Amino acid sequence: MISAGALLLLSHVVVWHAYTGAEQSALDHVVRQYNASQRDVAVEAIAVPYGSFADKLQAAIPRGHGPDAFIAAHDPIGQWKSQGLLARVDGDAGVQQTLRTLWPQTVEPLREGDALWGLPLSWKSLVLFYRTDLVSQPPATTEDLQVLAQRLRSQQMPDGRPRYALAYETGSFFYHAVWLHGFGGQIIPPERGVPTLETPQQLQALRFLRGLVAERIVPEDMTAVLVAQFFNESRAATVISGPWFVGDIAPGVPYGVAPMPKLSATGHTASPLTSIEAGLLSAHSKHPQQALAFLSYLAGPQGALPRLRTAHQAVSEQSAWQDSVASQDPVLRAFFAQLPELVPSPKHPSMRAFWEPGEQLLRQVLRGVDPPQALRSAQGLLQHYLSPPPDAASETPYLVALSLALLIATGLIVRRALSQQRIARAWQARAAYAYLGPAAIALLTLAALPIVLGAALSLFALLPDGSWRFVGTRNFADILLCRQTGCLDPLGFYFTLLVTILWTLLNISLHVAIGVALALALREPFLKLRGLYRVLLIIPWAVPNYITALIWKGMFNRQFGAVNGLLTWLGLEPVAWFSSFATALAANVTTNVWLGFPFMMVVTLGHLAGIPTELEEAAMLDGATRFQRLRHIVLPLLMPAMLPSVLLGAVWTFNMFNVVFLVSGGEPDGATDILITQAYRWAFARGHRYGYAAAYAVLIFLVLLLQTALMRRASDTDRGR
């Protein structure tokens, strides 16, 4: 640690990074080593969580609160350059000297225009892991994979389950890009200059993917967890993954690592997308020369060698590869062998909107949609996401309307406050107001202020350069008038609203029905072990819902899930749960009902305890049956008391993000998304259209407000009767 007194005498250079584990230890070692060699500079490395790294940079650097330098992947350079977050680094003599020691393939991706915007530190990409007990030599071509698959078909697992030649996340475009490159395609074709899906090479890659699945070379519905499980259980002979996969390999599993194979049809290597980790200089650095000097040291021999030895990074510095660690580490050897075939991940700002249409394309093809049709649909979706923001609107009418509203509200408040009677009552209750003051301030700050800011954000649009444009109510007009999508398309607001209402009604009906039924059963005095049953039935509610959602997601897996396993055991056909709207919605509802019925059961038990037993005893003496007592006494007294809980459950279900996002993921093609998940996707997966997403959030708030008002009115009507 650097003392506060020392920082006053030294140039304090702050470097942000998102490293953890061995990579963080290696960086800290280099920082200590560098600081020990300096007299007038002190470098401080600060770890920032990966999930919020980019957002913190974009918020802090323009305001002068960010780092002097930071370490990040090269992909967002185009976006960060247009936002004015980066300073070019190629004008420094020390940088020029360091560049001569680095692999040129890792330097070029950091160029944008005629400038260099960072110093490469290392690169990460996909390689081929293989089990040495199943494969004596790693497949060098895709024909070798086919031969391996044929051999493995005769070597089933002891329990009869099949083995596969290859496993990887087939629904991820990051992995699929290896086949696209193998057929000579690119995500950004030079003749178009923007991300594009509908190309001849993409069509070839999709047909090749279908062939891999049809010939049972790869399993079709894989996640990262399943890939690791298949490899560890020897159900997959080879796996496409990155260096992070080493930590998933179980102890004792014999494995090797090799470069990616060549496509036999073209002779081209199935080259993976490669991410270059680089040291980048902040455009608002307080000590730019000192920060560049440290980045040169970090990228050069003295900084590269500790990173290679400790963190096993594929460093960009050439001489470090002569170290014995580089020759002994199988992952590093595979990385080095792939260096000539390196395909850097595109850094075009529009890539933010590319991944969702790309992965929807893969899911459609895996479901059996004809590849040309799926390509046309995905390309149309991508073009929709890349559509320009709304035109600017005049601020004057909105400012006038806001001023009038504030003036009228202020006048009404002052008029009420100046009433002599109100002033007297307020003065008498001044102690109560003093106690309530802190809570009121906290409520306004934590609840009211975010709502106001979100509503204000809905009147703006984020531009590619990071600036904001006032567009007035045009975001709302685009949503409500279906200007960008069909009203009943899966991306349309009204379709999503209908799905959300259906989702809420189905869940609340089942929550109440199951909860009330179980509570009535647990109320019966003849039932033994009621306490144990109550504890067991409340467990689904006690487990965090995202954990439950992930468990049910695995249970609904098409090939390997427990639900389809049960159906097969019963002699029924397995169901592709996320291939149709009805089955995907059923999977979501099943998961949420499992999560929600315990709440209604507990609430019902509480209200049942408040119903006087004398009423039922009197009815029983009058000859009423059990069903008659339930219908004429218990339910009429129970239902009005349950209404607040039903209202609360409806609000929770209406915005149940985790279940929909984690179980079906909106499949098929966004049809099972609800309003809250659509808002999330517009904000974070479709080009960061924050204003559009904020407009969605405002509409959700208004719908919930209307729903609450209607339910309260219904409650008041029932009480009036």
Amino acid at 74: H
Q: Is the pLDDT of residue 2 over 60?
A: no
Query: What is the pLDDT averaged over residues 42-66?
Result: 91
Which strands, in side-by-side order, build the sheet including 236-241? 164-167, 236-241, 127-131, 255-258
Q: List the one residue out of 597, 585, 596 whose CA is nearest residue 556.
A: 585
Q: Is the pLDDT of residue 195 over 50?
A: yes
Query: What is the pLDDT averaged over residues 98-119?
Result: 92
Distance CA 501, CA 316 (A): 54
Query: What is the pLDDT averaged over residues 109-122?
Result: 92
Q: Is the pLDDT of residue 463 over 90?
A: no
HEC assignment per residue over 112-145: ECCEECCEEEEEECCEEEEECCCCCCCCCEHHHH
pLDDT bin (cut points 50, 70, 90) of residue 485 is confident
Q: Is the pLDDT of residue 561 over 90?
A: no
Distance CA 226, CA 658 (A): 21
pLDDT over 70 percentage in the chain: 96
Q: List the one residue out of 338, 345, 109, 159 whose CA is nearest residue 243.
A: 338
Query: Two tokens at 18?
Result: 């998102």
Give the pLDDT confidence of 401-416 residue by residue, as tens digits. Answer: 888 988 898 888 777 7
Q: What is the mean pLDDT of the chain?
A: 89
pLDDT confidence of residue 714 = 67
Query: Two tokens at 413?
Result: 């408040």
Contact 339, 127 (CB under 8 A): no
Would you say domain 498-677 falls under CATH 1.10.3720.10? yes
Q: Which CATH number fits domain 4-122+278-338: 3.40.640.10, 3.40.1110.10, 3.40.190.10, 1.10.1060.10?
A: 3.40.190.10
Distance CA 616, CA 620 (A): 6
End-to-end Cα, the chain, rounded Å: 72
Contact 325, 312 (CB under 8 A): yes
- Residue ranges of domains in the chain: 4-122+278-338, 127-271+354-385, 498-677
pLDDT bin (cut points 50, 70, 90) of residue 419 is low
DSSP string covering 342-354, please? -EEPP--GGGGGT
Q: What angle do CA 8, 11, 12 make, to 5 degrees?
A: 80
Pick the more confident residue, 431 or 172. 172
pTM of the model: 0.87
- Give the SS3 label for residue 473: coil
The CATH class of the 127-271+354-385 domain is alpha beta
User: Does 127-271+354-385 match 4-122+278-338 at the fold level?
Assistant: yes
pLDDT bin (cut points 50, 70, 90) of residue 7 is very low
CB atoms within 10 A of CB 46: 10
Dihedral angle sign, alpha carbons of residues 306, 309, 312, 318: positive
Q: Is the pLDDT of residue 6 over 60?
A: no
Give the pLDDT confidence of 308-347 residue by residue, as tens digits. Answer: 999 999 999 999 999 999 999 999 999 999 999 889 999 8
Q: Specify which residues 42 forms β-bridges with.
A: 12
Percentages helix, strand, coil for the chain (3-state, rounded to 5) are: 60, 10, 30
Residue 139, judged by CB atoms within 10 A of its CB (0-12, 13-18, 19+), counts as: buried
pLDDT confidence of residue 229 = 93
Q: List the one residue out of 252, 245, 178, 247 whose CA is nearest residue 212.
A: 178
pLDDT confidence of residue 298 = 96
Amino acid at 684: F
CB atoms within 10 A of CB 251: 5
Query: What is the pLDDT averaged over residues 458-468?
Result: 86
